[in-house]
Amino acid sequence: QVQLQESGPRLVKPSETLSLTCAVSGYSMSADYNWGWVRQPPGKGLEWIGSIHHSGRAYYNPSLESRVTISIETSKNQFSLNVMSVTAADTAIYYCTGVPNGVAGDPWGQGTLVIVST
Amino acid sequence: QSALTQPASVSGSPGQSITISCTGTSSDVGGYDSVSWYQQHPGKAPQLIIHAVSKRPSGVSHRFSASKSGNTASLTISGLQAEDEADYYCCSFAGPSPSYVFGTGTKVIVL
């Protein structure tokens, strides 16, 4: 059974870079598959951030593309998210997900709340 | 890439059926047979309950069914139960490069 676990700083200062890692267990990331990130501001809806193929090719939400980078390390069975120049609007629960064909997320990590504040 | 439109809330009594709509455009819902639905209980991660417009993953109750017509997708919950009280989100592939857009979310209230 595939399991995902997010990790990273829970507090980030405005204008700095938010960095999260997702550890994948129960599945080899060397296989042909996609992985992704979704976020959810407290009390609000879901927003697709982007996804990455095991080959390293990444795709991003056009509204975030200029500030977001997703990378993958298949040898460590993990993938990562960087969001640059964060503001309070980037405060959210960040979920890492598997991305089967045509599906934005399945399965999901438990999510991690990241707060942008001084 | 605008969020898909869902009603803010839908309510029903136990045993009844309710339907949640999800309206997009020809660039997302209407253009691809890749609509999925997620159930999210408070404090929990979303869980996939429908993919490819109307397919249920293994383990998902047969009380959940879904369809699509034009630019609008729909999720129906039959035989409403207390455990169905949650937030529900639709999501559509929004190509051409892999891209997805979520709906605004619907809170289901079991009366």
**Residue B104, CA atoms < 13 Å, CB-side half-sphere:** 13
Task: Look at B51 and A63 and tell me if their CB atoms are within 8 Å.
Answer: no
Query: In B13-99, which ranges are E strands?
Result: 18-23, 35-40, 47-50, 64-69, 72-77, 86-93
Interface A:B, Cβ pairs < 8 A: 67
CB contacts, 8 Å: B105 with chain A: 45-46
pLDDT band at residue A31 under the 50/70/90 scheme:
confident
Tell me the shortest Cα–Cα distance from A43 to chain B, in angstroms. Answer: 10
**A102 to chain B: closest CA residue:** B34
Whether B64 and B54 have beta carbons less than 8 Å apart is answered as no
pLDDT for the residue A17:
98
Model confidence at A30: pLDDT above 80:
no
pLDDT for the residue B35:
97
pLDDT band at residue A28 under the 50/70/90 scheme:
confident
Q: Measured between CB atoms, which of B51, B103, B105 is closest to A102? A: B51
Tell me the shortest Cα–Cα distance from B102 to chain A, in angstroms. Answer: 6
Query: Percentage of chain A with pLDDT > 90?
Result: 84
Alpha-carbon torsion B44, A40, B58, B82, what sign? positive
In order along its 111 residues, chain B shows pLDDT tens digits of 799 999 999 999 999 999 999 999 999 999 999 999 999 999 999 999 999 999 999 999 999 999 999 999 999 999 999 999 999 999 999 987 779 999 999 999 999
Residue type, A95: Y
Closest by CA to B38, choosing from B63, B81, B75, is B75
Count CB-CB contacts under 10 A for residue A43: 5
Q: Measured between CB atoms, which of A45, A62, A110 is closest to B1? A: A62
**Alpha-carbon distance A26 to A112, whole Å?**
20
Query: Locate tokens 């997805």: which residue?
Result: B100
pLDDT for the residue A101:
83
- The pLDDT tens digits for A62-110 are 999 999 999 999 999 999 999 999 999 999 999 999 998 888 899 999 9
**Alpha-carbon distance B73 to B52, whole Å?**
11
Whether B11 and B99 have beta carbons less than 8 Å apart is answered as no
Tell me the shortest Cα–Cα distance from B64 to chain A, in angstroms. Answer: 17
pLDDT for the residue B66:
98
**Alpha-carbon distance B65 to B57, whole Å?**
11
